[in-house]
Amino acid sequence: MQRAQRRARLLYAMAATTQALLFATKLAPSSTVRLLSGNRMPIIGLGTSELRHHTAESVAQALAAGYLMIDTSANYHTQRGIGDAIRQCKVARNSIYIVTKIEETDDAYDATRLNLAELRLDHADLVLIHNPPERGVGEVLWQGLRRAKRERMTRDIGVSNYSIEQIEELVYRTGELPAVNQIEWSPFGHSPRMLDFCFDNHIVIQGWAPLTRGLRLNDDKLTSMAARYGKTPAQLLIRWSLQLGVVPLPKANHAQHQQENLDVFDFEIRQMDMVKLRTLNEHYSSTGVLPYV
Ligand SMILES: NC(=O)c1ccc[n+]([C@@H]2O[C@H](COP(=O)([O-])OP(=O)(O)OC[C@H]3O[C@@H](n4cnc5c(N)ncnc54)[C@H](OP(=O)(O)O)[C@@H]3O)[C@@H](O)[C@H]2O)c1
């Protein structure tokens, strides 16, 4: 077979095995994705690590701009500011989706209670095990989160930075699937195998560092493709995640960045460009290693 033909076939196969085709329908900032529980989650959220100095102001500005999901964790030190912003803003609490996390050394139930106390909320929407523990896969943590869910302290529970094997082991030990796996995700660092696994099991991937923490925004292939669409590299990265069915969590302190990152609903990346972006994959991670691959 001619080289070009072989390549075209391979690209088609890659595109066809993903959710990409399913998400070709019109997306909007208010679009949601359905979790295994039947609850719905916004398709884009604001990351808040490193937002600690002006958290309340930044989050209030993001809520006003149209963000409906905020991602946090006790160790980001942003929970108090997020609580302040929710109180100050005009958006109703039940329209705002709050994600928080517990650490592998925590008592999951107590840590959830402390997170809620810091946020000054009676429930979160999603609580995640931030990282898989060094030993085991967190079945005790999971039981604590299940208790928190039973007591309506959170609507859903999930994991973060888990590999496929760790999720399978957790499911084997607990009999329950996580609603979400939050992992680092960009064209430069992702896993088609994880995408297929999560899709097959109705686990939603939330993508952290979707902008590579700004470190790969000057990549030549990315900048030239973004220019063709009349969009910025950051917008192209966010839209790429959205079209794969991955929920991006871009962090932005600056109002202009927040606005820009939400302004991704007036264009669509063509299928061939989606695949080209996937071929940038080098398992890149802003922290050195992509732990789930
Ligand atoms: N589960 C986990 O283990 C885990 C780990 C890390 C992060 N997270 C979550 O994921 C979120 C996002 O990840 P991240 O904060 O590491 O990285 P990121 O979202 O990839 O990048 C954030 C950086 O990009 C800049 N930026 C934002 N919008 C931009 C734009 N339009 N153009 C140019 N630069 C732009 C931000 O600047 P400004 O802030 O100055 O606007 C900031 O310096 C975190 O905030 C956190 O909520 C989860």
- SS (HEC) of the chain: CCHHHHHHHHHHHHHHCCHHHHHCCCCCCCCEEECCCCCEEECCCEECCCCHHHHHHHHHHHHHHCCCEEECCHHHCCHHHHHHHHHHCCCCHHHCEEEEEECCCCCHHHHHHHHHHHHCCCCEEEEEECCCCCCCCCHHHHHHHHHHHHCCCEEEEEEECCCHHHHHHHHHHHCCCCCEEEEECECCECCHHHHHHHHHCCCEEEEECCCHHHCCCCCHHHHHHHHHHCCCHHHHHHHHHHHHCCEECCECCCHHHHHHHHCCCCCCCCHHHHHHHHCCCCCCCCCCCCCCC
Query: Whose CA is closest to atom 8 on ligand 1?
Result: 208
pTM: 0.93
Return d(Cα 293, Cα 289) in angstroms, integer. 9
Dihedrals φ, ψ of 175, to 5°?
75, 15
**CA 176 to ligand 1 centroid distance, Å:** 30
State the closest ligand 1 atom to the C-alpha of 217, by its place in the atom list counted from 1.
33
Q: How much distance in Å is there from the Cα of 77 to the middle of ligand 1?
A: 15
- The label of the residue with tokens 């959220």 reads 45
**Closest by CA position to 225, among listed 283, 280, 169, 161:** 280
Atom of ligand 1 at shortest distance to CA of 160?
Answer: 1
pLDDT of residue 1: 39
Measure 193 CA to ligand 1 centroid, in angstroms. Answer: 24
Distance between Cα 1 and ligand 1 center (Å): 44
Distance in Å, CA 7 to ligand 1 centroid: 34
CB atoms within 10 A of CB 280: 18
| Residue recorded with tokens 């002006």 | 54
Nearest ligand 1 atom to alpha carbon 186: 20
Q: State the pLDDT at residue 260.
A: 98
76 counts as catalytic: yes
Question: Of 131, 211, 290, which is best to mutate to test ligand 1, by the most ligand atoms within 8 angstroms of its C-beta?
Answer: 211
Question: Which residues contact ligand 1 via a Cβ below 6 A?
Answer: 47-49, 71, 130, 160-161, 182, 208-214, 217, 232, 234, 249-254, 257, 260-261
* Ligand 1 mutation pick, 44, 49, 115, max ligand atoms within 8 A of CB: 49
> What is the CA(175)–ligand 1 centre distance, in A?
34
The minimum-distance atom of ligand 1 relative to the CA of 211 is 20
Per annotation, catalytic residue among 76, 97, 109, 292: 76
Give pLDDT tens digits along the chain (293 positions): 345 444 444 443 444 444 444 454 689 999 999 999 999 999 999 999 988 779 999 999 999 999 999 999 999 999 999 999 999 998 999 999 999 999 999 999 999 999 999 999 999 999 999 999 999 999 999 999 999 999 999 999 999 999 999 999 999 999 999 999 999 999 999 999 999 999 999 999 999 999 999 999 999 999 999 999 999 999 999 999 999 999 999 999 999 999 999 999 999 999 999 999 999 999 999 998 898 99
